[in-house]
Structures are given as C-alpha cells and as structure tokens.
Amino acid sequence: MRRGKLLSAATGLAAASLALAVLAPVVMSDVDWPTAARDTIAADGYAATGATNLVSAIYLGYRAFDTLGETIVLLVALAGSVALVASTPGRPDLDRDGGPADSRGPGHTDIINVIAGKLAPIVLLFGTYVMLYGHTSPGGGFQGGVVLASGVIFIAIGRRAGGIGRISPSITAFGPRTLSVIEAIAFATVLALSFPGSGAALAGLIEATGASAGVAAKGVAAVGPIIALNIGIGLKVGSGVALLCVMMLGGDQE
Amino acid sequence: MIRRLLVLALFGTGLAGLVTKRNLIKKAYALAIMNSAIVILFVLEGAAIGSDAPLLGGAGKLFVDPIPQALMLTAIVVGVCVSALALTLAYRLYRHFGTLDIDEIKRRIGHE
Amino acid sequence: MIEAILAIVVAASIYAILARDLLHGVIALSVTSVLSASIFFLASAPDVAITEAAVGAGLSTIIFVWAIRNTERTDRS
C-alpha cells in the first residue's frame, strides 16, 4: 500500500516535470510583446467608447460579448455551487440544535461582533463607488460587484454573531431570496443591453433627457452604455457571489 | 528572466500539488495557485512595454498593454468560481464517503 | 522589488501545498493573494490589483474556510 502510494507520487511528479519541460520554452521565449494593439487602443479607445479607463473600454466596449459569455460562465458555476450546497443532505449546520453553526464557537470574539456590522456600510459604499466610476478610474463591474459581496458578507457575519450593528433578518434586504431576485434582474439587464442597437438606443435616450448634455465632446461615443453594463454586471456578480457565501454561512435557514 | 523563472516555479508548484496530493481541498489550492501564476505572467509581460497605468489624462504617457489586464480580470473572477465549484463538489463527496482522500473515494466507488 | 515579492509568493504557495493543517494553507494562500495584488499595482495594473485583493484575500478565503469547517482540517495523506 505504502509502496503503491510512493510509486504514484513519483509518477505524478514525473508527469508534472514533463509538462513543465514543454511549458518552459514557451514561457522563456525571447519574442517581444507586440505594441500594435496598445498603440491602437491608446489612440482610438476614448473616441470609440467614451471611457477614459482603457481596461473598461476593452472589456465593455470592444469585447462586450466576451464579457457576456464570461458572465454566463459565472452564472452557471454559481448556480451549480448553490444547488450543491442547498441540496446536500445532513448538513452539520442544521444538525446542531437550531442556530447557525458557530454563533457560540470559540472563534467568535468581541472584535468580530463589533467590527463586522459597522464595517458593512463603508464597504458597501466603496463597492458602489468602484462600480459606478469604472469608466474613468480603476474599477468596474466585476471589482465593484466583488466588493459589494464582501459588504453583504459582513452584514451576514454581524447578524449571525448577534453583536452590535446587527440587522434583524425580518427587515434586512440581504436575505438569500432578495439576492437571487436581484441577480436575476441584473442578468436580464445585461442580456437586454447586449442586443444589437440597445446600447445606441440607451445612449440616445440619455441624450434626449439631457442628462449627459455637455459631457461628451464632439466625435466621442457616449459612455452611458458602459456605465449601464457596469451597474448590471456589478449587481449580478455581487448578488451571485454574496448569495453563495450567505448560503455557506448558513443564512438560508432564516 | 528571473520573473519568468519564478512564475514557472509557481506554476510548477501548483501542477506538482495537483498531481501528487490526494486531499481534494489541497487539489483546489493547487488549481488556485496555477490560476494566479497565469494571471501574474500575463500582467507582468503586458507591463514590459510601458510604464503608466492605462488611464487616459495627462500627456506623454507610455501605457502598459491594457488587453492582458482586461482578460486577466475575467480570469480572476472565473478562477474564484472554479474554486467554489470544486470545493462544493469536494464537500458533497465528503458528505457521501466520509473522506477527502481521492484514492479512498475511488476504491469505494469501485466496491459499490 | 517585483522579483522579491514574487519569491515570497512562490514560498508561500509551496507552504500552502505542503502544510498538514489545511487552515494554515488557507492563510498562506490569502497572503499570496495580497502579495500578488501588490505585484499588479507595481506593474501598473490597478484594475487587476483591486480584483485580486477583493477576490483572493476576501471571497476565496471565505469559501476555503467554509469547506474546511464542514469537512476535515488535517491532510491525512
């Protein structure tokens, strides 16, 4: 038995080093990184998309369909994880009489009780900022969504700990049901924005209401669709990831 | 050159862990390490052709390549989904078989 | 600078793979993520740095700790 284990470990190591021997010439190649794409985007990116953050210009302007596909990957993976977590029988969280798992475990100190609830609004505010201003400063839908999810997790931890700053589950807007509704609506928004022409229609609508009057210079594409996509992706990523983590923390029993 | 060697070492660490460790959670660690090695490689290589972050404004800036950054952004988010799915699968297997050892699980599946 | 941080990242990853206590491995992995975020900032990729800091140090740590709490803490192989 022990010999077999050693043998399989040795075989594994040999396979890994062979794979690395194939990879090494690729990684260590002397070819210079091409500059053509960088030059094109630095010259035309702002005029074509209206976003001054070139990373946002690429993943929501030039490659928005790629981002849509990536959002679908995210949706499928999170849906699979949530389904597996929810359907697994004999969860230890439920076995211990009532109450979520470690609300009285040794790991819960006063520091967590005090900090978690109070930190949540600040983190949520920062996440909203990162999400809304992704077109001009570092940030965007994915980053803002993940920070928003951290804020919701702080709320869940603070609620579980029953410490200062907790929010009663009956009035909170961050239960699993609400989160899944938000995720569905945000994903529908992203899908609707991905249809051909809907971005231009949105830009025209914003221009007609005069909301962006005088913001966009002549010959620069309106940035409205990018902001809308940022918000949609941010809410979708944030609520999806937060839903998974809240269910993992045992928040689905309330 | 040192950077690429270190990134290769990072990737090799993940690959060796993936093929030699039996614990399923260790395998999830290894996947996360390989993912971050790829992200570091692309960002560092894209940064080789410039010195400024790709944010417009101000004159005479020499930007780094923004395309690998945009791609790695999605790679990181997909990476955390891979971790989540892998760990929930490992948790489900543990609930069913009572162990995280992949050889043990394989043996029991063969017996059933 | 970047090389030094990268060397620490490699060392922490090797520790994460080898550690018998899985919880120590998670902490090493989140250290890896924070250091990677600083590498991305030094390589002038602030977008990637924000994502890595939020995802790597925050969310994946929560998911890994959840998995360990609900299964086993020690690697018995």
pLDDT one-digit tens code per residue, C10-64 = 999 999 999 888 899 999 999 999 999 999 998 888 888 988 888 888 888 888 9
Check whether C77 has a pLDDT greater than 80.
no
> For residue C15, is it within any domain?
yes
Residue C76 within any structural domain of the chain: no
On whether the CB atoms of residues B20 and A11 are closer than 8 A, the answer is no
The whole-number pLDDT of residue A157 equals 74
Residue B87: give the domain boundaries: 2-51+64-111
- What integer pLDDT is reported at residue A218 of this predicted model? 56
Is C22:C70 a contact under the CB 8 Å cutoff? Answer: no
pLDDT at B47: 85
The CATH number assigned to the domain holding B15 equals 1.10.287.3510
Q: How many domains does chain C have?
A: 1
Residue B73 lies in a domain: yes
Closest CA to A100 of A252, A250, A254: A250
How many of the other CB atoms lie within 10 Å of CB of C3? Answer: 12
Per-residue pLDDT at A33:
81
Check if C14 contacts A (Cβ < 8 Å): no
Query: How crowded is residue A29: how many other Cβ atoms within 10 Å of its Cβ?
Result: 9
User: What interface predicted TM-score (ipTM) does this complex get?
Assistant: 0.90
Answer whether residue A99 is part of any domain. Answer: no
Q: Which has the higher per-residue pLDDT, C1 or B38? A: B38
- Supply the pLDDT for residue A96: 41
| Structural domain containing residue A156 | 54-84+107-253
Mutate to test the interface with B, among A58, A60, A247 (most CBs of B within 10 A): A58
Cβ contacts below 8 Å, chain A against chain C, sum to 45
Determine whether the interchain pair C63/B83 forms a contact, defined as Cβ–Cβ distance below 8 Å.
yes
> What is the number of structural domains in chain B?
1
Give residue A160's pLDDT: 60
Work out the angle at residue C4's Cα, subtended by the Cα atoms of residues C3 and C10, and round it to the nearest 5 degrees.
85
pLDDT of residue A113: 67
Domain range for C64: 2-70
Residue segments in chain A with a per-residue pLDDT below the cut of 50: 93-104, 163-171, 213-214, 251-254
Spans of chain B, pLDDT less than 50:
none
Residue A29 lies in a domain: no
Q: Is residue B28 a part of any domain in this protein?
A: yes
- Report pLDDT for A209: 64
Residue C10: inside a domain, yes or no?
yes
Q: Phi, psi at residue B65, to the nearest 5°? A: -75, 120
Q: pLDDT tens across B76-89, in order?
A: 888 888 898 999 99
The shortest C-alpha distance from B64 to chain A (Å) reads 7
Q: Is C71 on the interface with A (CB under 8 A)?
A: no
Determine if the pTM surpasses 0.90.
no
Structure tokens at A157: 């931890």
* Residue C74 zone, left/alpha/beta (φ > 0; ψ -120 to 50; rest): beta
Residue B65 with chain A: CB contacts under 8 Å: 33, 35, 37-38
Chain B residue numbers with beta carbons less than 8 Å from the beta carbon of C76 are: 23, 101
pLDDT confidence of residue B31: 92
B81 within some domain: yes
